[in-house]
Amino acid sequence: MLEAIQANLLSPAVLFFALGLVAALLRSELKFPEPLYAALTIYLLVAIGFKGGVAIAEAGLGRIWLPGLAAIVLGCVIPLWTYPVLRFGGRLPAVDAAAIAAHYGSVSAVTFIAATNYLKSIGQPYESYAIAFLAVMESPAILVGVVLGKLATSRSGSSAIPLRTVVHEALFGRSIFLLLGALVIGAICGPAGMDKVGPFFVTPFQGVLALFLLEMGIVAGRRLEDLRKVGPFLLAFGIVVPMVNGAIGVALGQVTGLELGGATLLGVLAASASYIAAPAAIRLSLPEANPTLYLTASLAVTFPFNIALGIPLYFAIARHLYA
């Protein structure tokens, strides 16, 4: 386990993330221009979506429908069980509990990419179509969390955006639309299409990821001061809940026929928390929710934990189950 953690911590992506953290803590002037950050995000989403679509074309729907269904169920159920924990265990306002639950039911694409890099570094094979789980888990959790928040705001008499608008944002927001669109294109083009665009989507991928994680480290480092505001409960929540969700995801992966590597990735997705798609949807549909709570918990607590320690932990759980 210690060797696995060391291998993960010494990977280029994690070290660039740590560099960003240090830059923020030392109050460096290092900052990415917003257009560059947007460009890196678009590149990563399109690249992982396209590669996932190609993998689906190679594997066939017959192999992925059952674990894919399990991924959708996970995305729906995680907000349902984390909401009462936040609402009654943490005594948070209902709308804030719903917003945080939506973030933890949704997924982090960068955490998933870091997990695939980790598995490659230790020589552990995994199902290449696992990227499809990332695509199908993003929206359900956001919809469930928003509905919970809508119910809370309707009881309090607050004005709310129509549910139709919320559903449209959850299904066709920038990140989800790019991911699903690229997935469909990859499934249509198949391996022949990958041969044509591989030099652009495969070769530079690790370098782009390192730059993106450098920026994420800067953002997360600037959120560390907010830990005093979120309190010890959310700090514990941001670490314990991912471990529970990760173990559940790994177990579901085993039950649905995934190999050890694929089950690890499903566990990583279940353990991750969104900080791209979910904040955009929540900001639109639940403006009453406190951004400090859901952004700090997902980005400053859960994301660094998963990147540094969580990924090798979920692999260790999977290895124990499969042994």
Q: How many percent of the chain have pLDDT more than 90?
A: 39
Nearest to 287 by CA among 170, 180, 146: 146
**pLDDT band at residue 136 under the 50/70/90 scheme:** confident
Considering the domain delimited by 2-322, tell me its CATH architecture: Up-down Bundle (1.20)
* pTM attached to this predicted model: 0.83
Mean pLDDT of the chain, nearest integer: 86
Q: Is the pLDDT of residue 160 over 60?
A: no
Q: Is the pLDDT of residue 157 over 60?
A: no
pLDDT confidence of residue 183:
85
Residue predicted with more confidence, 172 or 242: 242
Q: Is the pLDDT of residue 8 over 60?
A: yes
Residues 194-215: what's their mean pLDDT? 88
Distances (CA, A) of 155 to 145, 149, 150, 160, 165: 16, 10, 9, 11, 20
Least confident window among 16-25, 78-87, 128-137, 172-181: 172-181
Q: What is the DSSP letter of 276?
A: S
CA distance 99 to 295: 10
Residues 314/271, Cβ–Cβ less than 8 Å: yes
pLDDT confidence of residue 290:
85
pLDDT confidence of residue 103:
94
**pLDDT band at residue 227 under the 50/70/90 scheme:** confident
**pLDDT band at residue 128 under the 50/70/90 scheme:** confident
So where are the chain's domains? 2-322
Q: For the segment 265-282, what is each residue's pLDDT rounded down to a tens digit?
A: 999 999 999 887 788 678
pLDDT confidence of residue 19:
93
